[in-house]
Amino acid sequence: MAPKKLYIKTYGCQMNVYDSERMAEAMGGEGYETTERPEDADMILLNTCHIREKAAEKVYSELGRYKGLKAARPDLKIGVAGCVAQAEGEEIMRRQPMVDLVVGPQSYHRLPEMEAKVRSGGKALDTDFPEEDKFDHLKGRPKAKRGPTAFLTVQEGCDKFCAFCVVPYTRGAEVSRPAERVLTEARDLVERGVREITLLGQNVNAYHGHDGGLAGLIHALAEVDGLERIRFTTSHPNDMDEALIEAHGTCDKLMPYLHLPVQAGSDKILKRMNRQHTAEQYLRLIERLRAARPDLHLSGDFIVGFPEETEADFQATLDLIEAVEYGSAFSFKYSERPGTPAAERPQVPEDEKDDRLQRLQALLTKQQRSLQDAMVGRDVHVLFEKPGRLPGQMVGKSEYLHAVHVETSGIVPGDLARIRIESSGPNSLKGVMYPL
């Protein structure tokens, strides 16, 4: 009997990428193989994100694209998972009756039984926050070879309740996976070819599944033979403790790149966002991190046009960016999220948001290019991931997360090599094998 085909489209953050992998593995135990083509699928699953503007409407639009497939093949099963599923629940099935199942991000371990119910002619909805740990109920990862990098979720949920964010409502309270289970999964990934692991969490540095917190987990992972690199994302400034700061200077396997969102540089706006820190506290934290690891590259998140933001407030954000010098960043116009406190406040006009975003992104792009150009002539260590677009070219990531292109022979994905950077492009670096 031919295997059934599963098509998963993933929206949003790295945690959704990880969740999609685990959903595919859960359904693999039910006889499904993944496919890259929705036309070939027996089940289509949209793993959604609720962070971006008009996220729910984009999901409904995507579902509309599959109406023809469903009409031609009534046995095709269509599901919606993730944060939009959690937020919208039964509304998804009401607006799109062709949807067979809706499952929230904390319940996807129940996908096999939900799929069985759908096969029997019913519909399935599960947006609970179950007491059981979903990771305990997922089948072990299959032993197929993996690429050299992998995501590994260690913490979920958020207790911060930033005024603009829906995550506490869609992902629930902060929970951490026990360290031994994380280490077991990490060893399994390494056995299958992974050399770099990125630890994931909504507030990953709030991890408390190890006696030593996230720093303790990182040091334990550093003892795993064959694991060469460790990263983590996304962090909250208030959870960056001294042990984690110190780990950036003492753990050789922890890469010198940190994503540490601040969102704004105005204390008034930070307070209105409920960030629970000031711009000065953030800047002093950066100083301590760079004292521990002087070559640390920083990334951040910024929201422009938050309700009641004035030009002076926006200028304070630009001043903070100038002070920090970011290697990369993500920046967005504020958009309302129903049910969040900020959605009920006076909004900044769209044309002002547009103008501020352009000015902010111009400054961030200037900083990114400056730091990339400064890499020319330096030696970096590149973990190669895949062939490049040109014959004989390989692409990988430096310890600073720069994409690096190298024209070389004898290099395969998973190799780690010393590279001298000889030129800088808009979004990547080009290098040659060292020594010259």
Contacts for 54 with CB less than 8 Å, ≥ 6 apart: 335
Rounded to whole angstroms, the Cα distance separating 179 from 163 reads 31
Chain centroid to Cα 71, Å, comes to 35
Amino acid at 172: G
Phi and psi, residue 397, nearest 5°: -120, 140
Q: Binding site residues for [4Fe-4S] cluster, as ranges?
A: 13, 49, 83, 158, 162, 165
Contacts for 35 with CB less than 8 Å, ≥ 6 apart: 5, 6, 7, 41
Place of tokens 């780690």: 416
Residue 290's H or E segment, with its range, is: helix 279-292
Residue 432's region, left for phi above 0, alpha for psi from -120 to 50, else beta, is: beta
- Residue 330, CA distances (Å) to 84, 107, 170, 319 in order: 21, 29, 22, 17
For residues 332 and 304, the answer to whether their CB atoms sit within 8 Å is: yes
Q: Binding site residues, as ranges?
A: 13, 49, 83, 158, 162, 165
